[in-house]
Structure 1
Amino acid sequence: MELADRAVGLLLSFVSLSIFTYYTFWVIILPFVDSDHFIHQYFLPQEYAILIPVFAGMVLLCFLCVFIGFVMLKSKKKKA
């Protein structure tokens, strides 16, 4: 089981590093590259650089609120 855990951890680290590198290049470096350069075809428009993290944060916040509410309801039933 330890080998599987290490493989999952390595995969998650690789995915996180890839997303971080892509987003950093998209937000910090790409605005300084000419708009007719071929590299722009691999990236979404700049507006999405803000919309995607905001949407992901809102989904995470909603999930967290639902989870906390579920745990509070479940603990209330145990006391009664």
Structure 2
Amino acid sequence: MELADRAVGFLLSSISLSIFIYYTFWIIISPFVDTDHFIHKYFLPQDYAILVPVSAVFALLSFLAMFIGFVILKSE
């Protein structure tokens, strides 16, 4: 079981690191690169720079609230 836990931890760490690197390049590096450069085809438009994290936080808080509500209802 310890090997499975390590594999899951490594997978989650790798996914988190890759998302962090992608978002950092998208927000900090890409505005300083020319708009006709090929690198811009790998990134979303800058309009989504705030929309994506806000919707992710909203989804996380919604699932957390549903989980807490489910636990409260289950415990009674």
Task: Report the Cα offset of residue 75 of structure 1.
Answer: 2.2
Percent identity between matched residues is 75
Corresponding residue number in structure 2 for 1:47: 47
2:30 partner amino acid: L
Aligned ranges 1:1-80 → 2 under 5 Å: 1-76=1-76
- After superposing on structure 2, the runs of 4+ consecutive aligned residues of structure 1 that deviate more than 4 Å are none
> Which runs of no fewer than 5 residues in structure 2 stay unpaired?
none
Aligned residues: 76
| CA distance, structure 2, for counterparts of residue 68 and residue 3 of structure 1 | 30
Larger Rg: 1
Deviates more, 1:23-32 or 1:67-76: 67-76
What's the CA shift for 1:67?
1.3
- Greater RCO between the two (CA within 8 Å, min separation 6)? 1
Matched residue of 2:60: which SS?
helix
**What letter is aligned with 1:22?**
Y
The alpha-carbon deviation at position 37 of structure 1 amounts to 0.6
Q: TM-score, normalised on structure 2?
A: 0.91
With the length of structure 1 as denominator, give the TM-score of the two structures: 0.87
Alignment-mate amino acid for residue 44 of structure 1: L
Q: How far apart are residue 74 of structure 1 and its match?
A: 2.0
